């Protein structure tokens, strides 16, 4: 899935403020930064860095189906990258 399409889908399906990773760090090209709290009912209360490896989480399952994955930048900052 194209990044622009995924950002819109994350906003609509999971209520996430998904923006280009370049808005977080100018030399971080091609990813997505979740610029708000990712721990929401829509994401199964995603537990930040701890949940990026949780294959049972519905957000991670969705990302896997569209060829993307979540990665922690730090404990509470989540980035998403194409596989």
Strand partners, 37: none
Q: What is the pTM of this model?
A: 0.94
According to the model, what pLDDT value does residue 19 have? 98
Q: What is the pLDDT of residues 14-53, one digit of tens each?
A: 999 999 999 999 998 999 999 999 999 999 999 999 999 9
Domain residue limits at 11? 3-82
Q: Residue 78 phi/psi, 5° resolution?
A: -115, 130
């Amino acid at each position: 899935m194209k990044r622009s399409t995924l950002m819109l889908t994350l906003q609509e399906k999971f209520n996430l403020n998904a923006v280009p990773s370049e808005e977080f760090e100018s030399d971080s090209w091609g990813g997505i930064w979740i610029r708000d709290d990712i721990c929401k009912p829509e994401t199964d209360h995603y537990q930040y860095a701890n949940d990026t490896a949780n294959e049972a989480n519905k957000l991670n399952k969705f990302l896997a189906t569209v060829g993307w994955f979540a990665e922690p930048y730090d404990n509470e900052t989540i980035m998403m990258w194409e596989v």
